[in-house]
C-alpha cells in the first residue's frame, strides 16, 4: 500500500480558485489535506523561480490554479502562468525530475467542486509519482 502523503503547494488566484476554495469549504466539499494554498493577486505573478523554490523547499508537487481562459482579471495573467508552468516543466526534465510534478489548472470562482477535484487529482498524481527526489518529505 502507498501511504505516502504528498505535500503540494498551490499558487491560487485571488479572483477565481481562491474563492472556489472558499466555496468548497462553505459547501462542505471534502478535499485532501495535502495541499498548501498560497494566495496570489493573479497567477501572472507566479514566476518560474517561485515554482522551483517551492520544490526546493520540500514540496512534492506544485500547481498553479488560475482563472478560466479568457476571464483573467488582468486580461492575460493566466496565459503567462501557463507558459511559465510549461517552462518550469522543461527545466525539471533537464535535471531529470518528473515534469508532472508541476501543473496548471483553470477554474472559476463558482467551481468549488472543481477545486476539490483538482486537489484530489493532483494529490493522486503525486502519490503515484512518489516523494520528491530531492528527498525532504519526512512524512513517508
Residues that bind other proteins (CB under 8 A): 47-49, 52-53, 55-56, 91, 94-97, 133-136
In sequence order, the 6+-apart residues with CB closer than 8 A to the CB of 65 are 10, 11, 12, 13, 16, 17, 20, 43, 105, 106, 107, 115, 118
| Closest to other proteins by CB, 47 or 117 | 47
Take residue 49 and report the three cell numbers written for it: 523561480
Kindly tell me which of 33 and 94 has the beta carbon lying closer to other proteins. 94
Q: Which residues pair with 55 in a beta bridge?
A: none
Identify which of residues 52 and 113 has a Cβ nearer to other proteins in the complex.
52
Shortest Å, Cβ 45 to other proteins:
14
Q: How far is the CB of 5 from other proteins (least distance, A)?
A: 20
What is the smallest separation between the CB atom of 135 and other proteins, expressed in angstroms?
6
Q: Cβ 33 to other proteins, closest distance in Å?
A: 25
Spatial distance between the Cα atoms of 106 and 65, rounded to a whole number of angstroms: 6
Single out the residue of 64, 60, 63 nearest to residue 7, CA to CA.
60
Q: Which is nearer to other proteins, 25 or 133 (CB)?
A: 133
Amino acid at each position: 500500500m502507498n501511504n505516502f502523503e504528498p505535500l503540494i503547494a498551490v499558487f491560487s488566484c485571488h479572483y477565481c480558485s481562491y474563492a472556489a476554495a472558499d466555496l468548497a469549504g462553505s459547501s462542505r466539499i471534502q478535499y485532501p489535506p495535502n495541499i498548501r494554498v498560497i494566495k496570489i493577486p493573479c497567477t501572472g505573478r507566479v514566476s518560474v523561480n517561485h515554482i522551483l523554490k517551492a520544490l526546493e523547499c520540500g514540496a512534492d508537487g506544485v500547481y498553479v490554479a488560475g482563472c478560466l481562459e479568457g476571464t483573467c482579471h488582468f486580461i492575460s495573467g493566466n496565459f503567462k502562468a501557463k507558459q511559465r508552468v510549461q517552462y518550469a516543466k522543461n527545466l525539471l526534465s533537464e535535471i531529470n525530475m518528473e515534469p508532472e510534478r508541476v501543473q496548471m489548472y483553470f477554474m472559476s470562482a463558482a467551481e468549488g467542486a472543481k477545486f476539490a477535484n483538482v486537489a484530489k487529482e493532483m494529490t493522486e498524481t503525486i502519490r503515484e509519482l512518489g516523494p520528491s527526489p530531492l528527498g525532504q518529505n519526512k512524512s513517508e
